[in-house]
Structure formats: C-alpha cells, structure tokens
Amino acid sequence: MRLNWTLMAKVFAGEADQEEINALDKWAMQNEKNKLLKNMLKKNWESIKAEEGEIRVDTDQAWMNLHSRLEKDNLIPDPVETAGKKFMLPSLVKVAAAVILLAGLSIISYLILTPDSSSLRLTASTLDSQEFGIVLPDGSEVDLNAFSKIEYNLGKSGIRSVKLTGEAWFNVTGDTDHPFIVQAGNGVIRVTGTSFSVRTDPSTDRIEVYVSSGSVQFHQDRKENDALNLEPGTLGILEQNRLEKERSIDVNYLSWKTRKLTFRQTRLGEVADILNRTYSRKIRFDNEILEDCLFTGTFDQQPFDSVMKVIQIAFNLDMEQEKNTYIFSGNGCN
C-alpha cells in the first residue's frame, strides 16, 4: 500500500472514520520508515496548533504548494481534483496537509524514494507566531520557537548533526557511540543524551545554551580543546569569542516552550520583553513612564489575550492592536 496523503491528512484532522484510521495504522506497521514518518508528521500536527486551536498558516496556498510538489514527484496515488480542477478537501484536511508541508519534503522524499540511502536529511522551519515540535529519525525531539530553522543529518557513521538558526529545545535520545552535535552560529554543542535549549540572535553573535538534564560540551567552532562543560541548571554564553557560564537563570527563560510565566515586582518594560519572546508578539508603550511600573503575577498556559487583559486592568490602561503589535497607553502606575 502506497502512502495516501489525503488519508493521512483526514486522520490528523479528525475527519476519518474507523476504517480509514485502521488503514493508516496498517500502512504504518508495514515497516519502520512508515511508522517514523507517520509519528513525525503527527507530532507536527499536534504541536503546531496555536493556543486557541487555530493554525496560523495559509492553508489553501500551503495545500496547493504541497499538492503541486507531490504531483510533480509522482507521490499522489489518488487524484483529489474534480473535473473542474477544484480542490474539494475539507478545510481541516487542508490544514493537515499544510502541516505535512511544514514537516519538510526532503524527509518525505527520502523515506519514499530513497529508502536505501546511507544518510538521511531533514529540514524544518517555523514562521511568525508559530512554534512546533518534531521527532527526529533517531528518536530525539526538537521544539522550534518562532522564526527558527533546523537542518538535520544522520550520516552513515551514525553521528547526528543539526544546524540551527533561531531557538530550539532538544531532548536527545541517548547514544554514547553516536554523539548529537548542534552547530549554532560559530558555536558547537556536543551531547550523547540530554535535554537543553539553544538560542541564537541573528543581529548579534551571542549564542546561549541552557541545560536542563545531562551534560553538554559547548565550544567555539574549531576550538574543541577549549570546551565549556555545562551541568543541569547552567547557562553557557558565547559572545565576542568568549565563553562564560552562568548559574543564575531567569525563571522565565523557557517560557516560550512551557507557557509558564512568573513575575515578582518586575518592571513592565521587562514584562513586555518576556511576553514578546514567549508569544512572538510586539508590545510597546506610548508613555515611557509605564515601562517602570512594577507588575506581579503568575500565568500557566494562559492565552496571550488573557495575559494582556490582566495587565491592562492592573494598571488601568488603554490598549490598541495593530496586527501583531499591541500598544498600551495611560498616565502611569497610580
């Protein structure tokens, strides 16, 4: 049985009946590669959803692009066009198809067209206001923040390498014989099995590595002998060719992934910076005095709009929205 993309999209979108679900399960059990592809795309579908259940992608255009590519590569076993050349897939199916597109067709082409290749490559990236997770072919998990990209390669030697732009959280499957190496800017992170985050900033040369479990070796490119060993709870920083280690970490450092926020007498300007990074939004104040107001509050998995409403009420502010930019105005903290 060849992979039926429409069937996979229907199952992910929750529009498939039991017979169709069983058919996809049967296909996934045919071999390990089928199972890998299904699980990877399913994780994308589940994690790319926004807080309120909407997926912020141009589903019609994404589906058109995906269908065109798959048709060109002869990967569509069942035509989905009508005589009038109109796509009749339900909207949720098109959303699922868009998620499949975001998974990266390089991995799809590998799994279907070159199953005997000695290496495996995968590229995945995120857009504005979008985060999603992916299960890599070696079983490791990656959560990408907005505006981020990874290029993964599993070579014949078994060494797992990733090139990262932006920010990502890694939960690496342990394998002492085959290290997991992340190239981020001019920094290199080497592990065998651990969980950690990496943050890069395209506007600077600053690279940050935060370790949650296990241990990490962090060094400048081509300077393996000067590696910094990072333990759980520590932050490694590479900036201006200098490596440093910090043990005092901002409690909200991983809020973009956890959606947990804690503020204790925190300047409102700093609160805005943290919320901007957590939710991929832009918050600004028309009165600079507001930035020095002190805010205390805790949020756990709260939608962005709810957080903004709390701040607005707390300081009796007016709020305007211009696309992804939110503007607070008011007289001050009194």
DSSP conformation letters of 236-286: EEEETTEEEEE----TTTTHHHH-EEEEEEEEHHHHHHHHHHHHT-EEEES
Judge whether 195 lies within some domain. Answer: yes
Judge whether 223 lies within some domain. Answer: yes
Judge whether 308 lies within some domain. Answer: yes
Distance CA 31, CA 35 (A): 7
Distance CA 182, CA 163 (A): 6
From 116, 134, 158, give the residue that closes a domain.
116
State yes or no: pLDDT of 64 exceeds 50.
yes
State yes or no: pLDDT of 66 exceeds 90.
no
SS3 146: coil
Local confidence band at 4 (pLDDT 50, 70, 90 cut-offs) = low
Residues 21 and 74 in one domain: yes
Residues 102 and 157 in one domain: no
From 249, 280, 305, give the residue that closes a domain.
249
Give the mean pLDDT of 39-68: 54
Residues 182 and 300 in one domain: no
From 249, 282, 300, give the residue that closes a domain.
249
Residues 106 and 137 in one domain: no
Quote the distance between the C-alpha of residue 256 and its chain's center. Answer: 10
Residues 231 and 259 in one domain: no
Judge whether 334 lies within some domain. Answer: no
Residues 16 and 1 in one domain: yes
Stated length of the chain: 334
CA 179 → CA 172, 193, 317, distances in Å? 10, 8, 52
CATH number at residue 298: 3.55.50.30
Domain span at residue 275 reads: 255-329
| Residue given tokens 């059990």 in the structure block | 29
Residue 95, burial from CB neighbour count under 10 angstroms (0-12, 13-18, 19+): buried
Cβ atoms of 180 and 190 closer than 8 Å: yes
Residues 163 and 88 in one domain: no
Between 164-168, 229-233, 244-248, the lowest mean confidence (pLDDT) is in: 244-248
State yes or no: pLDDT of 229 exceeds 80.
yes
Q: Which token pair is 289?
A: 């005095």
Sign of the Cα torsion 90, 96, 101, 107 reads negative
Domain count, the chain: 3
Judge whether 176 lies within some domain. Answer: yes
Residues 199 and 266 in one domain: no
Give the mean pLDDT of 130-155: 80
Question: Which span out of 59-63, 107-111, 141-145, 233-237 was modeled with the highest average pLDDT?
Answer: 233-237
First to last CA, the chain: 68
